[in-house]
Amino acid sequence: MPGDFALGEILVIASGCTDKTEEVVRKISHRDRRVKLISEKSKRGKASAINLILRETDGDILVLTDADVLPSSRSLSELVKSFRDETVGAVGGRPIPADDRNTFWGFLAHLIWTRMQDELLTTETQQGIFFQLSGYLCAINAQLIHQIPKTTIAEDKYIGQAILRQRYKVLYEPKAVVYIHGPKSLRDFFTQRVRVLTGHWQVKKWFKMKEISTSSFTRTFPALIHNVNFLRPKEIIWAALAGILEGAASLLAAYNFMTGRIPFNWREVPTTKPIRTYDDDAEVS
């Protein structure tokens, strides 16, 4: 951490846990008083967990992350250093899949996160219109957001847009890497992507937005073309299949939104949960 920032507390929201999470957190909290457990008897969705954190936190800067990801050792410092500028209201990290690029699902995860979204978000940052924080890892000025709608699915996009509209800067910090896993089955892909894209529909409605770049065909298609190696036939076929799957997910998300099927208390995506060790010094491309 930069010398002018201090880690004040670590809040762990255990929402309807059936494993040993709460037991482990309690043991750690006995050794480190900064660690605090907040327990929900039943699973109420991520927005509920974030609202609990917003009510309980005493810090000036709030870093949000998920339980099934692994930030690099330098990510926290990279996130918070931007808050030396008092006009900064939020900073988003960069998700990097840990999946094997030589499999279809690994290729798809890297195509979405390592290539396309990084290109789109970098462009938005340069244009001064970036707001798409990553729910995997982001930091916000805790004084700017006090509560979010309990049915919010894309809580990261909601928070980023709400802060941007208060005339604070929202930044993308690609050095704040967080390692993730993409889905590895059709069922899990559609569960995750339809949920995410339904959340985009919510945010567009609430903030009267025409589009969100990472779910807009006119923005994602050029990024897809830029990031596919047309000298590799296998990559062309996989990219075409990825486009078909994403298109189908977009149609299902639109249907969900129009019929009021909002999966705010979503089903787990099991194939995104493996535990691995990552190399912080690995090259990011």
Q: What does the pLDDT profile of the chain (285 residues) look like in tens digits?
A: 676 788 889 999 988 888 888 899 999 999 999 999 988 888 888 898 999 999 988 889 999 999 889 999 999 999 999 999 999 999 999 999 999 999 999 999 999 999 999 999 999 999 999 999 999 999 999 999 999 999 999 999 999 999 999 999 999 999 999 999 999 999 999 999 999 999 999 999 999 999 999 999 999 999 999 999 999 999 999 999 999 999 999 999 999 999 998 877 767 888 998 655 445 544 444
196-217 pLDDT, tens digit each: 999 999 999 999 999 999 999 9
Res 197: pLDDT: 96
Domain with CATH 3.90.550 in the chain: 44-272
21-55 pLDDT, tens digit each: 889 999 999 999 999 998 888 888 889 899 999 99
CATH architecture of 44-272: Alpha-Beta Complex (3.90)
Res 275: pLDDT: 57
Res 277: pLDDT: 47
What's the half-sphere exposure (Cβ side, CA atoms, 13 Å) at 40? 18
Report residue 240 as tokens: 């075409």
What share of the chain has pLDDT > 70, as a percent? Answer: 95
- CA dihedral (203, 205, 211, 214) positive or negative: positive
How many CB atoms are located within 10 Å of the residue 12 CB?
19
pTM: 0.90
Nearest to 95 by CA among 64, 76, 70, 129: 70
The one-letter amino acid code at 145 reads I
Residues 181 and 109 sit within 8 Å (Cβ to Cβ): yes
